[in-house]
Copies of this chain bind each other. A is one copy, B any other.
Amino acid sequence: MANFKGHALPGSFFLIVGLWWSVKYPLKYFHQKRKRSQYYQRLEIIEAAIRTLFSIIGILAEQFVPDGPHVHLYSENHWIKLMNWQHSTMYLFFAISGVIDMLTYLNTHVPLGVDRLVMAVATFNEGFLFYHHVHNRPPLDQYIHSLLLCAVFGGTLSIFLEVIFRDNIVLELFRTSLTILQGTWFWQIGFVLFPPFGAPKWDQKDDSNIMFITMCFCWHYLAALCITAVNYSLVCCLLTRLKRHGGEIIGIQMLKSDHKYQEALLGGSDEE
């Protein structure tokens, strides 16, 4: 996957998840304040299912692209396409994380917090593999990937904290912004290392390129913060307007349609 598409695909994946979270968590937060956060369980399950699905697609893509390993790991004294295997492993952890997320909401016997722990592990694992991934490459290539690690390990820390400080909106928004950052940065890596549309190659050893890339990373995070902030305020405005114009209807309808579902779901209780 060492080409433009190979970076655009995971980038889009993280970007979509990040954008979705930048809508979901504000929504949940405002409903929580009004004591109506229960019907987010179905949402969470659907989200986790989609994340799992995407991850499995990622695994299959890495394995069965024409120059992929096709599930062969070792033959004739050498390892086959370890790069693809490593990427598959990353996706596999995110798939497991998705499954655990679903289980946490479907089964009351799974302790709350396990979903966050496994998500933190999946994120750490991504960073761990990337860290040992980029030896023996040109400086800019190494550097631009190592910047990704800031986003990844920052995310790991933040998600791990959510094991203990669950449903903290600030930590959730932090995670959201770091996920968007990862998404846009993957795209940036693609543009820098494999310039599409016949753009000229970057000089991989030029110090001022590295200096620009450092700053560019900060700008990406700034953009990620802004996107998170804009979506947060859009959700806030929307809900306020709905409320003002007697628009609680939507909420009520959601509640109603969820009612039967919730009863089945909450046979047990989600006490912590």
Residues of A near any B CB (own CB < 8 A): 29-30, 78-79, 82, 85-86, 89, 92-93, 96, 100, 109, 111, 113-114, 116-118, 121, 125, 128-129, 132, 135-136, 150, 161, 163-165, 168-171, 173-174, 207-212, 214-215, 218-219, 221-222, 225, 229, 233, 236, 240
A165 neighbours in B (Cβ, 8 Å): 164
List 16 A-B residue pairs with CB atoms under 8 Å apart, sorted by A's residue number. A29-B111, A30-B109, A79-B211, A92-B222, A96-B222, A111-B169, A111-B170, A111-B173, A113-B170, A114-B170, A114-B173, A116-B170, A118-B225, A125-B218, A132-B211, A163-B171
Q: Are A132 and B164 in contact (CB under 8 A)?
A: no
**Cα(A117)–Cα(B232), bound, Å:** 15
Copies in the assembly, this chain:
4
Q: Are A121 and B225 in contact (CB under 8 A)?
A: yes
**Cα(A153)–Cα(B111), bound, Å:** 24
Task: Say yes or no: A221-B125 contact (C-beta < 8 A), given A79-B208, A208-B78.
Answer: yes
**Cα(A135)–Cα(B86), bound, Å:** 28
Closest CB in chain B relative to A185 CB, distance in Å:
14
**Cα(A215)–Cα(B215), bound, Å:** 32
A164 neighbours in B (Cβ, 8 Å): 161, 165, 168
Task: Classify the interface of chain A: helix, strand, loop or mixed.
Answer: helix
Q: Are A96 and B128 in contact (CB under 8 A)?
A: no
**Cα(A79)–Cα(B219), bound, Å:** 16
Closest CB in chain B relative to A227 CB, distance in Å:
13
Task: Say yes or no: A128-B207 contact (C-beta < 8 A), given A111-B169, A117-B170, A170-B163.
Answer: no
Q: Are A89 and B208 in contact (CB under 8 A)?
A: no
Q: Are B109 and A218 in contact (CB under 8 A)?
A: no
Select from chain B the residue with minimum beta-carbon distance to A29.
B111
**Cα(A144)–Cα(B85), bound, Å:** 19
A173 neighbours in B (Cβ, 8 Å): 111, 114, 117
A96 neighbours in B (Cβ, 8 Å): 222, 225
Select from chain B the residue with minimum beta-carbon distance to A114.
B170
Q: Are B92 and A215 in contact (CB under 8 A)?
A: no
Q: Are B170 and A89 in contact (CB under 8 A)?
A: no
